[in-house]
A and B are shown apart, each in its own frame.
Chain A
Amino acid sequence: MSAPAGAWEVVIGLEVHAQLRTRSKMFCRCSTAFGAPPNSQTCPVCLGLPGVLPVVNRRAVEYAVRTALALGGRVNARCRFARKHYYYPDMPKNFQISQYEEPLAEDAALEIDGPDGAPRRIGIQRLHLEEDVGKLVHEGTLETAAASLVDYNRSGVPLMETVTRPDLRSPEEAAAWLRAFRAVLLYLGVCDGNMEEGSLRCDANVSLRRAGTDPLGTKVEIKNLNSFRNVQRALEFEVRRQAQALDAGERLVQETRLWDADRAATRSMRSKEFAHDYRYFPEPDLPPLDLDPAWLAAIRGDLPELPRARRQRFVEQYGLPAYDADLLTQSRALAEYYETAVRAHANPKALSNWIMSELLRELPGDDEAALARCPVPPAHLAALVRLIDEATISGKIAKDVLVTMLRTGEPPTLIVEREGLVQVADAGALAVLVDEAIAANPRAVEDFRRGKAAAAKALVGAVMKASRGKANPAIVDRLVQEKLSRG
């Protein structure tokens, strides 16, 4: 294992909060839709008014169980909710309903590729359910604000908290793990993975220790990591900061630091006194869960193929390079898109190339919604590649056709026919064009006769241009060679 910070080994653990894709909140029936006007999706339960009774959303439990089982975790069929007390205006009850001593699941893991390409198993200590808190808007900055404004629409939205073991060894690896974890959530359909809207949020614990030693160093928690890039940059900054301090013989303090993306630095959050005195106790308003083994088995039986397994299968079944398989399996929607296309036209590598080099330039491959809206359905892309394979159009023309397909949503055959793009493969018609090209380019002909074989290319190019790209290049090439050699 490399030690990026010189003699120091980097030890990182992540805490990820994923908003579960339910329609209603965790303990009440308010909508979870994003972007509604402030305080328009609240009720006495999620506003924490006295005398209300929360009731658990079954779908949220199902989604968390699905995730835990997909990651090989041990589901605690018997588990409880607990109150976590702290005083902050984003939480109207002054406690958050969470899970503490009896989390929903423990001892899961998610494998990623290590620096040497070998698989690395990153342990997941626990996975539990809790409710989200409201959203604070500060007047001015957090430090200078005279007042804060609170929107409780998000209060009570179901969250799944996943805590990894301190198994990650570099900022890159932490970002890679988070990407892999997000992909799993998308495959499972339990979270939309939208980091900008806060559906997926990450905190990181990082410490350094002398390479080759066991005891963990003083750890620092970094908050506010709302993109993969920020996870990596914040951790890189923090590793440097800690290494410099330790190299200078300073002692680090255990603290929470906030990542400031604009200043590209972490800074200490003024620690609230007693901040970690949460006084957990079992939530008296929620009876414990004692999940039915048959339900758990049904959820397990329903698990989809996960990204890594699918990637492996793509390599074996379609003969794709690992690079292609990795890109194509980044989301379930993209993998399905690819497989649907391959079923329609069995040229796996060509379809992979077209998706990677053309389609993904137009839309993000990890955006399920964008893929679902893609104006070029997989059958159309398959038809396009078939037109090339059957020599009806050239690859160059095909690119133009795809541009139109993306714009109009029409099938390629229709566009090719309407715009008269069918490749000219008629040797007789092409011979006329070749003769014209030879007559118009005496210099190239002379060069060729003096032994410059490359001069033939100029003639082929001239013919292609004259045909506006519609000539079959292989036939043109053959004709040019024949005519020139014949003298």
Chain B
Amino acid sequence: MIERQDVEHVARLARLAMDEVELERMRQELAGILAYVDRLRQVDTAGVEPTSHAVPLVNVMRDDEVAPGLAPEAALGNAPDRRDGMFRVPRILEDG
């Protein structure tokens, strides 16, 4: 079962601020997902190789060639703040 403090922990890792109502709603939604995963775990998978992909592909690689990307102006298009051609973000370390 997922506890409220687990949700708070994950929210903090993702830097998401959540109020009481959101925390409880998220707890219930995550609990539903985990219950579903629990059901999946009951399936007998002995002899089935673990996979991280649904498609049977390996070695998708490309040659080491350069192609033009975005112009700096376009790259900064969504920047909430900028200075000297760079993204400007709030200070990094929290107090204490």
A-side residues, CB < 8 A to B, are: 22-24, 28-31, 37-44, 46-47, 55-61, 80, 85, 87-89, 94, 136-138, 142-143, 145-152, 270, 272-274, 277, 279, 281-284, 286-292
Contact = CB atoms under 8 A, between A and B. Distances in A.
A147 B90 contact: yes
Main secondary structure of the interface of A (DSSP, over half): loop
Contacts of B25: none
Contacts of B57: 287
A57 B93 CA distance: 34
Nearest to A33: B66
B93 to A, nearest CB: 6
Nearest to B85: A38
Contact of B64 (A42, A59, A145, A274): A59
A137 to B, nearest CB: 7
Contacts of A57: 61-62, 64
A145 B88 contact: no
A288 B84 contact: no
B75 interface: yes
A89 B87 contact: yes
Contacts of B13: 85, 87, 274, 277, 279
Interface in B42-96: 52-53, 55, 57-67, 69-72, 75-76, 81, 83-94, 96
Query: How big is the B interface, by class?
Result: 35 or more
A130 to B, nearest CB: 16
A277 B9 CA distance: 10
Contacts of A143: 93
B53 A146 contact: no
B12 interface: yes
Contacts of A24: 64-67
Contacts of A281: 52
Contacts of A272: 93-94
A388 to B, nearest CB: 46
Given A137-B86, A284-B52, A88 B75 contact: no
A425 B75 CA distance: 72
Contacts of B70: 42-44, 47
A66 B60 CA distance: 19
A57 B61 CA distance: 6
Contacts of B81: 147
B90 A287 contact: no
Contacts of B41: none
A136 B92 CA distance: 10
A205 to B, nearest CB: 22
B53 A89 contact: no
A15 to B, nearest CB: 21
Contacts of A142: 92-93
Contact of B75 (A42, A58, A286): A42
